[in-house]
Amino acid sequence: MNIIDNSHHYWRFWPVLCLAFLYPMNMGLINLAIPLYFFRVGVAIELIGFLAAGSTMTYCFSPILLNKVSNRINRRRSVILGIVGITFAQMIFYFTLEPIPFLIARVIEGFMAGFIWANLQSSISDNFEHDHSKYMARYNFTWNLGIFSGYLSGTLILFFIEDLRIVFYSAPLLIVANAIIIIFFFQESTKNNNLIQNSKNDKNQEKSPDIIKGNIVHFTKYSIPVIIPVLCIVAYCLARVSANFLYPLKSEILGFSLYTVYLLSCLGFATQIISITLTSYLSINYLKKIPIISIIALIVILILLGINTNFFIFIALFLFAGFFIGTLYSTSLKLFLTLNIKNNTSKYSSILESIIGLTFLLGPITTAFIAKIDINLSFYFLSLVFFFLLLVLLVYMRKIEITS
């Protein structure tokens, strides 16, 4: 009993939250700047698609590839290695923003990021004695707040100075701060491998501490097809592609001011923060319905994003889209971490991050070639993809069941 209490007080969660805030803030600044900057300097849309997907060219496999390395050298060393590598990769921004060197830097960053997100999520699921719903809610709230803050910072910067190079020069400073915090304060999680196995085998749960009993039994009693969180995260990523890649291009075509792209993304993330946090607390029974409702809503929103040219209607569309996008991510993360806990593994976090990387790789590249014909066709294409995702999801949602 004392071991559990000591480990609960020993593990520091706040460095995880710092990394989950500062790195997404960096990403929020850079990801929108890429299509805007390179479109303005005359780079072909097809190449912009590759630049926007640059980090995901390696991130689509690096979380799975580096999973065994992380298990061998521990999570703390892995995260330190990842954040230091990302710091050096982004230093190239201070020397050149030419497409090819920029793409190489992003490819390196994507590979090193394979040490980051899966280990952050696994550090939560490793700690069986903690309240996972509370930790997931804080984690989800924090990384969303980080991206929101990146968009807000970009809005303010570009409102006063319409020069996107400032974004590329300021964003790496957040990574430097991140590296300092992680090197000195990030702590190895307090995983106890015997805890979850004992809780599964011990039918007399009165022998287990209440806090462990409540968490583990709740997470391990469901049979969840892996394809369900996979479909949810794919839908989430494709929806983000429409907001982070396609809309900035359409905004430039329509002649909107630079800062308005960051402003709309900021508003969309405000509602995403709300939905992603609330969904973290919902039981799995409720999560059977939420993704279906969200995908149906996003199909309509994607079609409207293609049709519309009015800025104020875009505001409303981003507010609604952010809410439904958030529910998809939170549902996927909760189900993947449930599978981690049930199977006493961290591989599902790596699978989650690799799927994110692969979808963010294929999404911008595919839609870029369609956008070369007509930017609005890309939105319609994504709505059709969402329709097929919905059909498959409807089939597999009925297969979630409580096991004995």
The predicted-structure confidence for 106-120, as pLDDT tens digits, reads as follows 999 999 998 988 788
Model pTM above 0.75: yes
Within a domain: 216? no
CB of 311 closer than 8 Å to CB of 274: no
Alpha-carbon distance of 218 to 284, in angstroms, equals 9
- Residue 340 is part of a domain; what is its CATH number? 1.20.1250.20
Within a domain: 84? yes
- Classify strands 401-402 and 222-223 as parallel, antiparallel or unpaired: antiparallel
Predicted local distance difference test score (pLDDT) of residue 126:
66
Each residue's pLDDT tens digit, 196-216: 344 444 444 333 333 334 444
Q: Which of 382, 384, 277 is nearest to 331 (CA)?
A: 277
Predicted local distance difference test score (pLDDT) of residue 214:
45
Within a domain: 211? no
Within a domain: 215? no
Within a domain: 302? yes
- E strands in 141-279: 222-223
CB of 274 closer than 8 Å to CB of 140: no
Please report, in tens digits, the pLDDT of each residue of the chain (404 residues total).
Answer: 343 344 445 567 888 899 999 999 999 999 999 999 999 999 999 999 999 999 999 988 888 888 888 888 888 899 999 999 999 999 999 999 999 999 999 999 999 998 988 788 777 766 655 566 677 778 878 888 899 999 999 999 999 998 999 999 999 999 999 999 999 988 876 654 444 344 444 444 333 333 334 444 455 566 778 888 899 999 999 999 999 999 999 999 999 999 999 999 999 989 988 898 888 777 777 777 889 999 999 999 999 999 999 999 999 999 999 999 999 988 888 888 777 777 766 677 778 878 888 899 899 999 999 999 999 999 999 999 999 999 999 988 877 666 65
Within a domain: 202? no
Identify the H or E element spanning 363. helix 347-373
400 CB-contact burial (10 Å; exposed 0-12 / middle 13-18 / buried 19+): middle
Number of independent structural domains in the chain? 1
Within a domain: 304? yes
CA dihedral (136, 141, 142, 147) positive or negative = positive
Within a domain: 371? yes
Alpha-carbon distance of 286 to 273, in angstroms, equals 19
Write out the residue range of the structural domain in which residue 329 sits. 9-190+222-399
Each residue's pLDDT tens digit, 282-314: 777 777 788 999 999 999 999 999 999 999 999
DSSP string, 291-319: HHHHHHHHHHHHHHHHH---HHHHHHHHH
